[in-house]
Structure 1
Amino acid sequence: MSKRVEGTFVLDTWDADKPYDERDGVTCTRVHVEKTFSGGLTGTSAAELTTVGTEAGPAAYVGIERFEGTLDGRTGAFLLQHNAGGERGKPWLTWKIVETSGSGDLTGLRGEGQIIITEDGGHSYTLDYELD
């Protein structure tokens, strides 16, 4: 049976390299991100992202994130695979737990969720998961 957790996170670090590709108004950049989570997920994470920007602003990103902390009171770590973009100006941001990446009390974890950016620029999340 699938469970859902929700909460918020803050960006502690957003360290963008110089774009590695800039052509026709489109840039590709590597970014290192660190976060602190609260809610159903409590802990910290580090992520490596590849972002795409256009003259209109952020357009897409992909990345891998390692979370360490607790999920519903169970301690361990796992990796998340990010995929984000936009459709007709509306962003979508999804993440999936990388299969077999769970450790500690989170061994056997699987699932997926969403990141939501609020109107004031805050970040919240949902994560639907199952644990063997």
Structure 2
Amino acid sequence: MSEPASRHARGTFAVTVTPEESGIPQIGRFVLEKVYAGDAEGVGVGIMLSAGDPSIGEAGYVAQEIASVTLQGRRGTFALQQLGTMSGGDQQLTYVITPGSGTGELAGIAGRLDLEILDGEHRYDLVYELPDA
């Protein structure tokens, strides 16, 4: 079996964020629903927890999302683990593929998702490794 090669999948996603009761006043809880287009096509669902005050630019969130996609011809699921912070006018966002989460033809997937938001459009670059079929 050969070593996995790094690949890129690029496209866009639309996201819907629905608030839910968290039971803790200082923590927000949200359901995420995404529709992916481009090199990865399918849907994602997840849970996000947030704290801080985004209206003043000081906040953070964590999330787990399950993406059910066809990725450049291979079908399966994987989890995306997310961490985002904003403070002092700076934003940092990290998306990683949760180790061990790949299923189906995406079993063994590893990598990260780079995100750029331009004019309200979410553009992704999924940098990943996947064992050969």
> Is TM (by shorter chain) over 0.5?
yes
Answer 1 or 2: higher relative contact order, Cα 8 Å, separation at least 6: 2
Give the CA deviation at 1:53: 3.6
Structure-1-length-normalised TM-score: 0.85
Aligned residues: 126
2:42 counterpart residue number: 43
Structure 1 gaps of 5+ residues are none
* SS across alignment from 2:106: coil
Unaligned stretches of 5+ residues in structure 2:
none
Runs of 4+ in 1 over 6 A off after TM superposition: none
> Which residue is 1:131 aligned to?
130
Matched ranges for 1:28-107 at <5 A: 28-54=27-53, 55-57=55-57, 59-107=59-107
Q: Which has the higher strand share?
A: 1
Task: Answer 1 or 2: which has greater helix percent.
Answer: 2
> 1:122: which partner in 2?
121
Letter in 1 for 2:77: A
Identity %: 34
Asked if structure 1 preserves the Cα contact closer than 8 Å seen for 2:58 and 2:88, the reply is no
What's the counterpart of residue 4 of structure 1? 8
Structure 2 CA distance for partners of 1:86 and 1:15, relative to 1, 3 Å: same
Superposition TM-score, scaled by structure 2 size:
0.85
Cα distance in 2 for residues equivalent to 1:115 and 1:94: 9
Q: CA RMSD in A?
A: 1.8
**How many Å apart are 1:59 and its aligned residue?**
2.1
